[in-house]
Amino acid sequence: MEKNKKSAGEYIQEYGAFIALIILIIGISIVSPEFRTGSNFLSLLRQSSINGLIAFGMTGVILTGGIDLSVGSVLALSTALCAGMISTGMPAGLAMLLALVIGAVLGCISGLLVTKGRLQPFIATLITMTVFRGLTMIYTDGKPISNLGDSFVLKLIGKGTIFGVPVPVILLIVIFALFYFLLTQTTFGRKVYATGSNWKCAQLVGVNINKTKLIVYGISGLMASISGLILLSRLNSAQPTLGDGYELDAIASVALGGTSMNGGRGKIQGTLIGVLIIAVLNNGLNILGVSSYYQDVVKGLVILVAVLSDRNR
């Protein structure tokens, strides 16, 4: 009988992306003294939290065999509404809570299009991506919303630190742990994998696959809105174009982490490594003074190499 190679292969796969990350960090550190400072690493992690949270949500969706292109627009719309509420006098804390609810609801709308509407996830979220962006433009009239006052909570989520660690980094770690728990230790996690692996089989053993899908899209929207609040806090204004193209970095991170785009197979740890690779590239190439045009090419090539090596495992 054939030896069970799956788990060994998966280790190599995870290990591979991790090695790539280490090589990148060491490589850039050697060339650039600025890169290898503690404060730069903290800011690198803080920058990665935006993409990281979105990518975690995206991982859940992709594991069920779907995709969520709407995250950037959800981020923009929930953030704009939040800023709007604050600027009309609502307490910032309440507005931020509402923004999270709005994010989850917007995600669920994509989920409903996929489940009840039976649209392909790519098309469904292409629609919501377009519509939500349009709604953001209508609501903001295409102009940024500033005058957000001087709220402590709003400042805290993006700019605050606890024991010297930026709050966004703490959020990244805590939410990563939650995702890890959810995907590996709960029955819901099993249902997510089962839905992506073989939905017919899952349905026949009583898994409500539509509910499972709806929840992962909802979570994806929620994650996008948390990212949006961090951005709002850091920028102190809501730009209508906020989050444009963020879905691509998130999907790239998930792919870098070895999650199958067909669903059913992948790990949240992989996504975290993917997120860090992208963050190191962004940060490192900036410090090295590489023009942003070249940065995109380099990023694309790194993804290519990662995905190819994943295929040859």
Partner 1 sequence: MNIEMRGINKAFGSNQVLKNAGFLLSDGEVHALMGENGAGKSTLMKILTGVYTRDAGTVIVDGKEVEYHNPQEAEKAGIVFIYQELNVMFDLTVEENLFMGKEITKGFGICDKKAMRKKAQEILDKMGVNIPVGATMSELSVGQQQMIEICKALMVDAKVIIMDEPTAALTQSETEALFEVIQSLRQKGVSMVYISHRMEEIFELCDRITVLRDGSYIGTEEIKDVDMNDIVKMMIGREIGERFPARNVKLGKEVLKVDKLTKNGVFHDVSFSVRAGEVLGVSGLMGSGRTEIMQSIFGNMSIDSGKIYIEGKEVQIKNPSQAIKAGIGFITEDRKTEGLMLEKSIEENVSLANLGKVSRNNTVLSSASEDSLVKKAIEEFHIKCFGPNHECNNLSGGNQQKVVLAKWIYTDPKILILDEPTRGVDIGAKKEIYSVINELAGKGVAVIMVSSELPEVLGMSDRIMVVREGEVRGIVNQDEANQENVMTLATGGTI
Minimum distance between the CB of residue 206 and partner 1, rounded to whole angstroms? 4
Tell whether residue 312 is a contact of partner 1 (CB under 8 A).
no
Q: How far apart are CA 298 and CA 187, in angstroms?
A: 40
Q: How far apart are CA 126 and CA 131, in angstroms?
A: 9
- Give the residue with the Cβ less far from partner 1, 6 or 311: 6
Q: Binding partner 1 by CB under 8 A: which of 43, 151, 197, 236?
A: 197
Tokens of 148: 């957000």
Q: Which stretch binds partner 1 (CB under 8 A): 1-9, 18-26, 115-123, 271-279?
A: 1-9
Tell whether residue 180 is a contact of partner 1 (CB under 8 A).
no
Q: How far apart are CA 37 and CA 29, in angstroms?
A: 9
Q: How far apart are CA 63 and CA 61, in angstroms?
A: 5
Minimum distance between the CB of residue 193 and partner 1, rounded to whole angstroms? 7
3-state secondary structure of 238: strand
Tell whether residue 185 is a contact of partner 1 (CB under 8 A).
yes
Tokens of 22: 């280490």
Residue 157: name the closest of 75, 50, 245, 55 by CA: 50
Tell whether residue 3 is a contact of partner 1 (CB under 8 A).
yes
Residues in 213-272 that interact with partner 1 by CB under 8 A: 264-265
Total of residues contacting partner 1 (CB under 8 A): 28
Tell whether residue 120 is a contact of partner 1 (CB under 8 A).
no
Cα distance from N-terminal residue to C-terminal residue, the chain = 21
Tell whether residue 190 is a contact of partner 1 (CB under 8 A).
yes
Q: Which stretch binds partner 1 (CB under 8 A): 134-142, 183-191, 221-229, 299-307?
A: 183-191
Minimum distance between the CB of residue 55 and partner 1, rounded to whole angstroms? 23
Tokens 């292409």 locate to: 126
Backbone angles phi, psi at 275, to 5 degrees: -60, -45
H/E run at residue 45:
helix 38-63
3-state secondary structure of 145: strand
Q: How far apart are CA 292 and CA 167, in angstroms?
A: 28
Minimum distance between the CB of residue 207 and partner 1, rounded to whole angstroms? 7
Tell whether residue 193 is a contact of partner 1 (CB under 8 A).
yes
Q: Binding partner 1 by CB under 8 A: which of 118, 200, 289, 293?
A: 200
Q: Binding partner 1 by CB under 8 A: which of 74, 192, 202, 223?
A: 202
Give the footprint of partner 1 on this chain (CB under 8 A). Answer: 1-4, 6-7, 185-191, 193-194, 197-198, 200-208, 264-265
